[in-house]
Amino acid sequence: MLPALAATLALAACQSPGAGRPVAHPPAAVTAPQSAVTPERVPACAEDATVMEGWNERAPPRRIHGDTWYVGTCGLTSLLVASDQGHVLIDGATEAAGPHIEANIRALGFDPRDVKYLLNSHEHYDHAAGLAHLQEVSGAPVLARAPAVATLRSGRSDRSDPQQGVAPSFPAVARVETIADGDTVRVGTLVLTAHATPGHTPGGTTWTWRSCEDGRCLDIAYTDSVGAMSDKTYRYLDHPDMVAAFHRGLDTLAGLPCDIQIAPHPGIGELFARLDGKDGKALVDPQACRRYAEAGRARLEQRLDQEARGLKP
C-alpha cells in the first residue's frame, strides 16, 4: 500500500464509528507455553479486509517479536509486552473488543492480573473504549499524558480534540495516572518510553521499547495515528500551538529507534502481511517510522492549505 493511501485510510479509520478459557498461569510468564497457545481456535482475519473492517472481530493472538504479542482484533491493535515480573498492555480498542483482548491474553497462557500498566495510543473510542473492561480484569492503572487524562476519565472528548463533534463517547476509565513526554514505564526488565505525538488528538502518545528473541534485540515503535482530520468546525489554523506540537511529534516519529513499526490500526502498514512475510513484505523495516511521519506531515500540510483556502473538512 502506498504510504499516501495508507495515511488516507488511517485518517478514515480514526474518524468513523465503527471469553476465552482461562489457562494455567505460567511460572515464567514471558515464555508462553506452546500447549497454552490458542486453546480455542480463533479464525484467521480476512486477508482482503479494509482498514475499516474487523474492529470487533477477535484476531488470533500471536507473537510479534520476543516478548511482544499481538492480542487485538482484526482491525484494531492491542499489544501485550510480557515479562516474568508482570506485563504491560497497550490499547483497549473498542468496548466490544475488550473481552476479546482479555481472551487473547489468556489464550497465550498469560494472566490478565499480571498486567501492571495499561497504556493508550490516543483518546478515541476505537483505541480506548475497551480499557475500562481491561482495567477491571487486570486492576492496572491507565497511564496517559496530561491532555488525554480528562477524556479517558470521562469517556468524552472536549474541544481540544479536533474530532470532538464526531467522536463517539466510551466507557469512562476509573483509574488514570498522568505521565509525561519522555517518561519510562518499567515492569521487571521491561522499559517502555512515552513520546508525545499529538495532533490527531491532544493526548496522542507513541511508545517505544526493545524486545529480544533468540539473542536478536529489536526496537519496536508503536506509532500513534497522525491523521490531521476533524469535525465540521475545528480549524487547525485556529490552534497554532497544536500545529506546532503536531510538527514536533512528527519530527520525533521520524527519528525514533524503529526496527518494527506498528500502528493502532493493523491495516496501516500491513502488519499481518508483514508478520506472515506475505509477498516478501518485511516485518523489520527501520525506515518505516520515517515514512509514516512523512505521510502524516504531507497530510497535515495539505489540511492546512485547504483551511487557508477556506475549504471545509
Binding site for Zn ion (CB under 5 A): 14, 124, 126
Q: Minimal CB distance to Zn ion: which residue? A: 14
Residue closer to Zn ion by CB (options 148, 289) is 148
Size of the chain, expressed as the number of residues it contains: 313
- Tell the smallest beta-carbon distance from residue 122 to Zn ion (Å): 5
CB neighbour list of residue 172: distance below 8 Å, 6 or more residues apart:
132, 152, 153, 154, 155
- Tell the smallest beta-carbon distance from residue 234 to Zn ion (Å): 13
Residue closer to Zn ion by CB (options 10, 132) is 10
- Tell the smallest beta-carbon distance from residue 138 to Zn ion (Å): 22
The sheet that has 216-222: what strands, in order across it? 184-187, 190-196, 205-213, 216-222, 260-262
CB neighbour list of residue 310: distance below 8 Å, 6 or more residues apart:
none
Spatial CA neighbour of 38 closest among 105, 90, 87: 105
Q: Which three cell numbers stand for residue 290?
A: 520515517
Residue closer to Zn ion by CB (options 65, 265) is 265
Residue closer to Zn ion by CB (options 87, 200) is 200
DSSP assignment letter at 173: P
- Tell the smallest beta-carbon distance from residue 58 to Zn ion (Å): 18
The sheet that has 176-179: what strands, in order across it? 62-65, 68-70, 79-81, 87-90, 115-119, 142-145, 176-179
Residue type at 68?
Answer: T
Identify any residues that bridge with 206 across adjacent strands, giving them in sequence order.
195
Residue closer to Zn ion by CB (options 126, 294) is 126
- Tell the smallest beta-carbon distance from residue 233 to Zn ion (Å): 17
Q: Contact at 8 Å (CB) between 109 and 102?
A: no
Residue closer to Zn ion by CB (options 141, 168) is 168
- Tell the smallest beta-carbon distance from residue 95 to Zn ion (Å): 14
Q: Which three cell numbers stand for residue 258?
A: 524503529
CB neighbour list of residue 1: distance below 8 Å, 6 or more residues apart:
9, 270
Return d(Cα 56, Cα 95) in angstroms, integer: 8
- Tell the smallest beta-carbon distance from residue 164 to Zn ion (Å): 12
Residue closer to Zn ion by CB (options 109, 171) is 171
